[in-house]
Chain A
Amino acid sequence: MLNNMLAFLSSGENISFMLFSILIIGGAVYMISFTRVIHMVISLAFTFVSLAGLYVLLEAEFVAFVQILIYAGAISILMIFGIMMTKHGSEEEIQPARLLHNILLLAGSLGFFGIIAYAISKAEFPQAGTFNAGEDNTRAVGELLYTQHVIPFELVSVLLTVAFIGAIILAKKEEE
């Protein structure tokens, strides 16, 4: 057991995987346990940045920077705006605790995790070909995006435009 652990910790990749996953799980758990809404958003932003580190470890540099730009930048700021535009005064007063609901929910989540972890530990992952990220990951992703996956790319741009126009119309003040 100890030898196994030492062998696991002897490689730099494994050590950084450990560090990043501790940061990720820590941020997510603190998000659950904090009581103030703004602290939750900050701790989740921490999780998003650490996930970008894990992506760099998996040789997905472009996705890592997109992750930092969109999640740690845009979505966190959007959520903070959403918090500031709605009132959260009732955070401090005592609310009726939904004890039975929370216990059942905890049991359900743990059971779900147990089933998935059992399935993962039983599955066989044959070690196949080696991964080739290209000399320049951004260039390789871009070439693939504009040749092989060009139709989904255009469709996704239409989806994004429609969603943002819809968001503006929804959030706009209605005229009297």
Chain B
Amino acid sequence: MFNLITSYLILGAILFSIGLYGALSKKNAVIILLSIELMLNAVNLNLIAFSKLGVNPSLTGQIFSLFNITVAAAEAAVGIAILIALYRNRGTSEVTDMDLMKH
């Protein structure tokens, strides 16, 4: 009953839920970016767990998680750049103030 893959998947689900809560409840844009990174890490954990303990174990899961890490790094860099440009123009880093296109 107590399968090892199940515990890894539950850990990934916990991490994803914490990341989801952080991304939707925090006001600081840097922390929201970090929470999104946490969710991406949960996905990586699932990929690597399945690459060892899945039905068809192979190294492809590790390769896929490497691509995932690359895309996450690109996303973080562009996000921080947008944040700095926004701070320079409007003087805020809170997402509740980023409402120029509202209404």
Of all chain B residues, the one with the shortest Cβ separation from A32 is B22
**Contact count band on B:** 35 or more
Tell me the bound Cα distance from A24 to B12 in angstroms: 10
Interface hits, B7-36 → A, CB 8 Å: 7-11, 13-22, 24-25, 27-28, 30-31, 33-35
Interchain CB contact under 8 A, A168 and B81: yes
Tell me the bound Cα distance from A121 to B10 in angstroms: 9
Interchain CB contact under 8 A, A130 and B18: no
In the assembled complex, 8 residue pairs joining A and B whose CB atoms fall closer than 8 Å, in A order, are A24-B15, A88-B93, A101-B25, A128-B54, A141-B63, A160-B74, A164-B77, A170-B81
Residues of A within 8 A of B75 (CB): 163
Residues of A within 8 A of B66 (CB): 62-63, 66, 141, 145
Interchain CB contact under 8 A, A86 and B18: no
Residues of B within 8 A of A144 (CB): 59-60, 63
Task: Pick the residue among B10, B30, B70, B84 that contacts A171 (CB under 8 A).
Answer: B84
| Chain A nearest CB, measured from B84 CB (Å) | 5
Which A positions have Cβ atoms within 8 angstroms of B? 4, 8, 14, 17, 21, 24-25, 28-29, 31-32, 37, 40-41, 44, 47-48, 51, 54-55, 58-60, 62-63, 66-67, 70-71, 74-75, 78-79, 81-83, 85-88, 90, 95, 101-102, 105-106, 109-110, 112-113, 116-117, 120-121, 125-126, 128-134, 140-141, 144-145, 149, 152, 156, 159-160, 163-164, 166-168, 170-171, 173
Interchain CB contact under 8 A, A128 and B13: no
Residues of A within 8 A of B44 (CB): 51, 63, 67
Residues of A within 8 A of B71 (CB): 156, 159
Residues of B within 8 A of A48 (CB): 41
Residues of A within 8 A of B5 (CB): 125
Residues of B within 8 A of A51 (CB): 41, 44-45
Residues of B within 8 A of A4 (CB): 2
